[in-house]
Amino acid sequence: MSNKQKLELTWIGKDVRPKLEPRVLVEDPALSYHAKERVTDQDIFDNRLIFGDNLLALKALEQEFTGKVKCIFIDPPYNTGAAFAEYDDGVEHSLWLSMMRERLELLRRLLTRDGSIWTTLDDNEAHYFKVLCDEVFGRECFIADISWKKRDGAPNDRKVGSIHDHLLVYARRRSGTAKRTDAEESFNLMQRTEKADSQYQLYEEPFGFDPRGPFRKVDSTGNAKGGRYVESLFYPVRNPFTGDEVWPRKGRCWVYKRDEMERMIADRRFFWGKDGKAGTPMRKLFKSEAKPGMTAPSIWDDVGLNQHAARELEIIYGEKAAFETPKPEGLMKRVVEIASSPGDIVVDSFAGSGTTGAVAHKMGRRWIMVELGEHCNTHIIPRLKKVIDGADPGGVTEATGWSGGGGFRYFKLAPSLLEKDKYGQWVINKQFNPAMLSEAVCKIEGFKYEPSDGVYWQHGRSTERDFIYVTTQTMTAPMLDALSEEVGKDRTLLVVCAAFTAKNLERWPNLTVKKIPKTVLHKCEWGHDDYSLEIKNLPWREPEPEPAAVPKKKNDKTTDLFTGKPAKAKQIKRAPRKKRVQEAGVRKRSKR
């Protein structure tokens, strides 16, 4: 056994891992929605809104979407401590970290090789979360900790008040010793801002205005101090307007080689001042030659605040919506435009008010959102319907040119495959029909659910020649004979059945026969429906009952422990109930 240590974040219960059941997703056509007509050829209808526990939902998506998601945005609970008022501080953070770790590992599997995940948090957990992500994704996959300005002024209840949230960005992978992650290589440039464009202006020169249009001025020299001096970059140039010889300023050198500098001077790519007499020329960077976008800075103060998001929701619903930290559509637009392209899949497993899906839809991305709260039905669905109908005028609608179209499919998590009967034995859940049973068993056994229309025993496949057949029948020897013959020597079949009467199963080398539920009992936690982060919903521990008084027998003589002689009974005065409760509370806290 290796004693090699590693750098890691540890917490209470870190080694406790749930055995998640890969649930089936069941569509509810009554809650699915699409536009009444096609608006463009790029309309997307196969978006997914999933109602249920997000950890179970991510597990349900794992098989189909592993390696297919380009961008993930999550806005998890910030763990302000209010939900943990009755817990030790260590337990509070440990519960939060354990729950986030399980979700991050599943989310990472969904990402494409050049995918990225963006997470908003405040100071309560951001720094623990950063170290956790270093462990899950690898420190080499860290991209940035972006500061998003969420409010105009600092809160009055603090001497130093935070006005920003963290937006932590991680990539799925980094190739070898590459300087940038695979995600960064595929990122789009940020859309140019008005502030950036305002730097480009028209400047008058001795010959008038440059016909190439507005430009911004950039220093043509670099620092030559502290060992940075490069002899080949220290030379004179000729001012084309005065004919004077011009050298770099003291302690500076040119940033261009001599032949390149002379070529740019001839092409009028330096600004020598309005009268042409500037001591040092400035390089012209023309707006017409600039990149269509710009590098995103690590401070975002121009994408909207929480109060703007609240106003956007008020316009949609006609009333103030009860969301504590809503995110403005401008913030989501910037994330989506950098991290994905039209047609890519965007995922949000903490959907909240549905901003991610609404913005992704307007920007032509496919999306998947998961939400457990009832506002999935009361707020997210109405919001998405307005987006699809082109009846949402706010947010980024105008900036994206959105006019409606597309749709989404609404899913719920199927119940657990197994339930206990009245005798306490695990049996197949009565709510499962044959198709649901086949799909569930396929997921558990690692097969892709692909029921064949023409071959009754092909419910799924793991390879081109390995199949699975799920049935509630009792398989007899003649039935297995017929199956084996039809499967043939060049293919294999896993038969999962309620029972079988045949003995000596080696007679059918191309068949593997298993009983259900026996074959899956040990693989998952059955009947566990809630892995949510709502710690306040945990049941309270029952108070320990006070020990009952033991009645004394008539002739029971208590003896002194040391002398062996009969001991005199002492009258003990019982403290008032209020005081006893206070003392018990002190003793409890001291044991922690």
Give all domains of the chain, ordered by start, each with its CATH number: 25-191+297-413 (3.40.50.150), 196-291 (no CATH), 418-520 (3.40.1350)
pLDDT digits (tens, 9 = 90+) for 176-217: 888 999 999 999 999 888 888 999 999 999 999 999 999 999
3-state SS record for 163-180? CEEEEEEEECCCCCCCCC
Report which of 212, 299, 306 is spatially closest to residue 264, judged by C-alpha positions.
Answer: 212
pLDDT confidence of 550, banded at 50, 70, 90? low
- 8, burial (CB in 10 Å: exposed 0-12, middle 13-18, buried 19+): exposed
What is the structure's pLDDT at 532? 78
Matching residue, tokens 């106003």: 311
67 has pLDDT over 70: yes
What mean pLDDT do residues 390-406 have? 95
Q: Is the pLDDT reported for residue 536 higher than 80?
A: no
| Token code pair at residue 61 | 């998506």
How many percent of the chain have pLDDT more than 90?
74
- Strand partners of residue 381: none
Which of 63 and 291 is assigned the larger pLDDT?
63
**Nearest residue to 53 via CA among 21, 8, 12:** 21
Residues 424-469: pLDDT tens digits? 999 999 999 999 999 999 999 999 999 999 999 999 999 999 999 9
What confidence score (pLDDT) does residue 92 get?
A: 78
Give the pLDDT band (50/70/90) at residue 227. confident
At 156, is the pLDDT very low, low, confident or very high (cuts 50, 70, 90)? confident
- Residue range 51-75: average pLDDT? 97
Q: At 539, is the pLDDT very low, low, confident or very high (cuts 50, 70, 90)?
A: very low
